[in-house]
Structure 1
């Protein structure tokens, strides 16, 4: 067994590497820079943790959030690895102690916030160390075209230049377009890096977009249906977080909240309640989650649509990090688009950018938002839509998303499509400029709206042509026509216009056949059933033991063993230490520390059943 496999087995409890891991590790061990683009849960951290235990000296890991550092350092310590972090959560005496132990050779990995890299006291310490490797986690943050640009990441380049010798450099990210990947390579000045993109697919995640009439009822039904599984509910605003969390609590669900408007102490307590499984549902804005290493999140629900597919995939990807099956469900309404546009226009402060750069950033934001809206409205495979966005090939249908599994029916809507397209064109001809989809629908349905009459739109020949068609169906048809490239919505002003392809339908007889998919019907909150009970059996018994051990040690339960490890343990039901070491995720250190208790629990369960 070679060194990297021995480390993998002894400290992390796995027999084989996932795709791309072994090659990246070999490159770093040989002194070559490396750049890995791997999905959340794809094992990025092992790509620098394994070589850190084999290279002489210390590995510095640049990480964006305190929660990420704390989680990973806790997990490493539980695996028997010397690791520490330096960030603003520590007092100065605590930082001094970390530095003394670092100089004494007690740590192999040091996690550092980018803001601290150029601090005089920190530089004075690291310049006395043998820095074997610098690993940049969440590397997309270094690109101003990325969805999480952090100017502090630009300090990494100067930090590397201040070291006595340049160490090997590793960069990792889960979500990066081709442009962002180019920025990472260029800004970090990676030297002949081995670049591996293992793919963005997460087969264990099931994606679904729902269009409920009442989001609160739908959310309540979804959370109740998932029983005691841990989940995250993302909302776009602080007010929405407060309302949703209160609603769940009023219906007896174990929920807490997280957003930037809460006092720091309350945010920390709420996050700890979720990490330690004292609360099973976290309702939060996007201020929560980046770098959260909680492996047993069984579902991520989006109460509102995010502003980009990068943000959505990163947030949804916090489910199923241990490889277990998990759900990623987005509740969509047209109001989400208006909210997202408002947040986009009043969000990031781009004053530091030139006028040209600001314009490019704003245009990029609009393109991202349009792609996100397209995901919410498509009838095609949702997984395929995401993979298309990131430039990865895929099959036409994945069989594991809401669109692929939904019952479908084809309907010829050629006549209605011509009415819609004709109405769009007649509005523009009449006014000299286009209007948005909402006004087009009002005209088609013969609305008596004051604005319709003021503009004289009630005199158009298309006025009232779809009077008997419900508004959601007309909207769905317009979405479909836009998805098929017949309509275009201006990303700034929202006006709808015809494309060249629309002429094929209006004038050249092209039919329009729309694929309709069945939408789930949710019970009202008052009629919804009780939460499902967690499955019985050995798995449940092992989870109970894990929780007891975790509480005794004061750590999150998933740091003892992940859900996937417990599931494999329950399936194998080992009765000896050698058998326990065959369980995925059980390394030598953890087997020695926890093996006896878990083997006794397995024997007890078998005797009682």
Structure 2
């Protein structure tokens, strides 16, 4: 048969195995290029639903010259948030599957050509979109999986420039997502048993997303570990190596809100160790529900066959709230201390890091429900508490240099020229030059062909097409500054 190739942007090891099996590939060569995006700053903000629109509006107002995408879970929320932004004087367009093809095309065109800086959309927006200068992606609601989140958030910063990915979430988001999974999935082509397997799989995916919101670990590390990659000083891109090396030495990557310590934590070491011991006591044979019951001393009939009263861990956590035990167990699974087996009965087993829980120096924390202000922090990530008044969002992300006033003024003039040229040729502005190239141009201020070719992202073809006009703008700017 002919050679077969399969390509995807975000696939865990389990999904890669499924792809190989479903396509019937024989001894395939599997290449994983790495998942870390070191130019992206990841932020998680726990915020009541009633404050989310104000938070988004404040961020958009503070970044008027940047392109951004705001993802919403429903069409109704998409349209409502778009109306709110426009009423507050922040130009935005909506995009969702319920709009006519002409309306969707117009919205996409206005966003791609920088006519409108912000698009508010459902997950219908994004496939085939390659706008390189998206500076931020905000998720107004909790996505259904890490895969979905990373694909959508990854539309920021494709030009390599510092960009921001912020997730707004609350406990209500989790409840809504779980209810939809339990009640809204029906497929007449599947048996009830197969449907339940699908539900369990989707619950595990959602648990990974919930774990991302609650983890105290570096968000870059959490994300890459989920996809089977461990950041280390000897792996990844040069920027990725710097992040990993810094994390290993100081515990701070400088590229996520967790490493900026903008939250409070709860020590759950005792709970985590008890859970690990209970998994051992039951011989890795039962699901999370039974483990929680045993730890809290339940004498439920469905536990009788296990003789739980004889187990050392029976009732060990009777003083701990059931929801807390479940949260810790879920977090341990997402952090690799436990693993959840595939199939109709999701059995809790030991994960790759299970042995760490038995170490004398083992320590485990989860994120406190309430966040505190980060006003005293480094200032890079700012701080966002649970009120709209606290939406003091940041301006710069990982690795961002701070241009002086002259550079910023020239950058804006170069952007205006880029927009004019893009309109003349009927192409998106980033096709002319990326923001990264314009930033470098503003820094170097080239006025000769040789200098222009030294700018990042400029080749002979772009020099021939646009060089003269950009150098004229730079020369005029230099003359004005000198006078």
For 1:582, which of 446, 451, 454 is the aligned residue?
A: 454
For 1:607, which of 466, 470, 479 is the aligned residue?
A: 479
The correspondence of residues 270-349 of structure 1 with structure 2, limited to 5 A, is: 270-345=107-182
Matches of 2:260 and 2:394, distance apart in 1: 24
For 2:12, which of 177, 181, 197 is the aligned residue?
A: 177
Provide the TM-score with structure 1 as the length reference: 0.56
Partner of 1:456: none
For 2:105, which of 247, 252, 268 is the aligned residue?
A: 268
Structure 2: 5+ residue stretches without partners: 233-243, 248-252, 274-291, 304-317, 351-359, 373-382, 397-402
Report the Cα offset of residue 319 of structure 1: 0.2
Partner of 1:566: 438
Partner of 1:547: 419
Report the Cα offset of residue 349 of structure 1: 6.2
Structure 1: 5+ residue stretches without partners: 1-160, 435-461, 467-473, 500-508
Q: Do the aligned residues in 2 keep the contact of 1:224 with 1:531 (CA within 8 Å)?
A: no
1:318-366 alpha-carbon deviations (Å, 9 max, x no partner) = 0001101100110110111122224434667644456665444332211
Matches of 2:102 and 2:20, distance apart in 1: 38
Matches of 2:330 and 2:22, distance apart in 1: 38
Provide the TM-score with structure 2 as the length reference: 0.69
For 2:37, which of 202, 214, 222 is the aligned residue?
A: 202
Partner of 1:429: 298
2:83 aligned with 1:252: no
Question: In terms of mean alpha carbon deviation, does 229-238 or 259-268 score higher?
Answer: 259-268
Matches of 1:331 and 1:417, distance apart in 2: 27
Report the Cα offset of residue 185 of structure 1: 4.7
Matches of 1:410 and 1:375, distance apart in 2: 14
Gap change, CA 1:606 and 1:513, over 3 Å in 2: same
Report the Cα offset of residue 596 of structure 1: 1.2
Instruction: Classify the secondary structure of the residue corresponding to 1:298.
Output: strand
Report the Cα offset of residue 527 of structure 1: 9.5
1:71-121 alpha-carbon deviations (Å, 9 max, x no partner) = xxxxxxxxxxxxxxxxxxxxxxxxxxxxxxxxxxxxxxxxxxxxxxxxxxx
1:171-205 alpha-carbon deviations (Å, 9 max, x no partner) = 43210122333444565677876543110000000
Q: Do the aligned residues in 1 keep the contact of 2:185 with 2:199 (CA within 8 Å)?
A: no
Partner of 1:34: none
Partner of 1:483: 331
Matches of 1:402 and 1:314, distance apart in 2: 20
Partner of 1:406: 261
Report the Cα offset of residue 428 of structure 1: 7.3
Matches of 2:106 and 2:193, distance apart in 1: 43
Report the Cα offset of residue 252 of structure 1: 1.5
Gap change, CA 1:347 and 1:275, over 3 Å in 2: farther
Report the Cα offset of residue 382 of structure 1: 0.9
Gap change, CA 1:352 and 1:284, over 3 Å in 2: same
Q: Do the aligned residues in 1 keep the contact of 2:45 with 2:385 (CA within 8 Å)?
A: no
RMSD: 4.6
Gap change, CA 1:417 and 1:424, over 3 Å in 2: farther
Matches of 1:591 and 1:243, distance apart in 2: 44
Matches of 1:431 and 1:478, distance apart in 2: 18
Gap change, CA 1:567 and 1:192, over 3 Å in 2: farther
Report the Cα offset of residue 406 of structure 1: 1.9
Instruction: Classify the secondary structure of the residue corresponding to 1:224.
Output: helix
Report the Cα offset of residue 241 of structure 1: 1.1
